[in-house]
Structure 1
Amino acid sequence: MVRIKNRYIVVRIVPQADAKILNFHDGVLAKCVLRNVKKYFGDYGLGIVEHGFRVKYCNERTKVAIIRCLHRSHRTLTATLPLITMIGDVRAKFHTLYTGATIIQCNKFIINHQQKFLNEMVGQIVSAKERNDFIKRVMEFDLEQ
């Protein structure tokens, strides 16, 4: 029996307009990525990437997402991500932060990344209640979608 190997790609979405919260979800993100894979690599590239492709995690506040793909197609996918300029109706770019073999390693990376983000952002918040609410919202990490 052959084991199916996955790769998990952690990306940060950088909108061109200053927006605190982007209104998108994993479905919009998946359609955008697959549309651009087809645009740049054709039907063959779409066929390779589409099998095993899924957006596992998407945080609108920190603008971080985890994308799962098969091992054989991760190079095609990572070559397409920097070329994407529109996500839904928002002009934005993808920055690849990390590529890992397990989702556990990606979780560890995201927690460290979010901790750095918190350290930067908490210093700007004046109220203690707002600070606690902000920390609670950012550290939400739910993979059950």
Structure 2
Amino acid sequence: MVKIKNRYYVVRILGADVEKIRKGAIFAEIMRLGAEMFGDFGFAVLKMSLSIRVQDEDIVVIRIAESGESHFSAILPCIQKFANQPVLLTTIFTGNSMRSCEKRLIRERRAELHAKLAEARGNAAETRKIQQMIRKICGKPARIFEEKLDFKKVLQDSNSTVLQDAVTTTVPITTVTQKSTQGSTVPITTVTQKSTKGSTVIQQSTTTGRLSTVTQKSPTKLTTVTQAPTVTQAPTVEEAKQVDRHYLLKYQLLVCSIMLIASAVSIISTIFALKNLKNAKSALIRLDLSGSRETS
């Protein structure tokens, strides 16, 4: 089985309203120029492997086999229009795989977003929007025009914010008792009102005891403090190097132990081989002696 090697071209289209250009128009113009410049042979070579793989606004990724790369590279500078729309093509990148072209395309778009971020530095809404787009591309927030953040300061700010958001409520606790004569048993009803953020819960309980007076407790102030979330700090470079050294030392010890075991096995096998050789020599000597005695 023969694998056909392909080449991928990342090309930028310069012109007005390039987003409206379709893949079919690009393919048709390349094939027309191929037939005009190289005849039926060039048309057949391009037709066999030419494909518009990706079209991302003004950037397209075109695939061509290595057999037709020379024809395609000669056609690219001659393209002046797509569907009667004047354009100009510039080659950004040439690669052997779609993965490499995808990386280059992401790099180009990220550079464009960084340039737009520099232009929209005074507009907060536009800056936030562009930063979100950059975060979607690379997975990290853009901090190009921002100062370096102090990790300890961020932790202190987050802790103070959490403590400010803590709920402080006043919970009245009222104990209602029923008057009775001394020594008699009466029911005691305790009404407790608990107030949380956004909800109120009233609990009532009845017990039996001996009371002679009515008591009422004053409201008490309860403060609920939400504990700040714990932040796990990423390992430093030195810690990572220590871990790498530890695993490297383990690997070296393992390799040394394997080599020692192999050398011990080879020594033992050599000793057994020498013993067998010695036994064989003694056997041959005995045979020679017995043969000489018989002849004599």
TM-score, length basis structure 2? 0.41
Give 5+ residue unaligned stretches, structure 1: 140-145
> Alignment RMSD, CA only?
2.3
The answer on whether the counterparts of 2:117 and 2:127 sit within 8 Å (CA) in structure 1 is: no
Distance, in Å, in 1 between the alignment partners of 2:46 and 2:105 is 23
Report the alpha carbon displacement of residue 59 of structure 1 after superposing the two structures with TM: 1.4
What residue is the counterpart of 1:115 in the other structure? 110
Q: Does 1:128 align with 2:126?
A: yes
Alignment deviations for residues 19-77 of structure 1 (CA, whole Å, 9 cap, x no partner) = 4x5311211111111111112222111111110111000112xx110001111111210
Q: Does 1:55 align with 2:42?
A: no
Structure with more helix by fraction:
2
Distance, in Å, in 1 between the alignment partners of 2:117 and 2:24 is 30
TM-score, length basis structure 1? 0.80
Alignment of 1:1-145 (within 5 A): 1-15=1-15, 17=16, 19=17, 22-60=19-57, 63-125=58-120, 126=123, 127-128=125-126, 131-132=129-130, 135=133
The answer on whether the counterparts of 2:26 and 2:82 sit within 8 Å (CA) in structure 1 is: yes
Q: What SS class does the counterpart of residue 107 from structure 2 fall into?
A: helix
Give 5+ residue unaligned stretches, structure 2: 138-296
Report the alpha carbon displacement of residue 105 of structure 1 after superposing the two structures with TM: 0.5
Q: What SS class does the counterpart of residue 21 from structure 2 fall into?
A: coil
Which has the higher mean CA deviation after the structures are superposed, 3-12 or 38-47?
38-47
Determine what percentage of the aligned residue pairs are the same residue: 24
Distance, in Å, in 2 between the alignment partners of 1:64 and 1:123 is 22
Distance, in Å, in 1 between the alignment partners of 2:117 and 2:60 is 21
Larger radius of gyration: 2
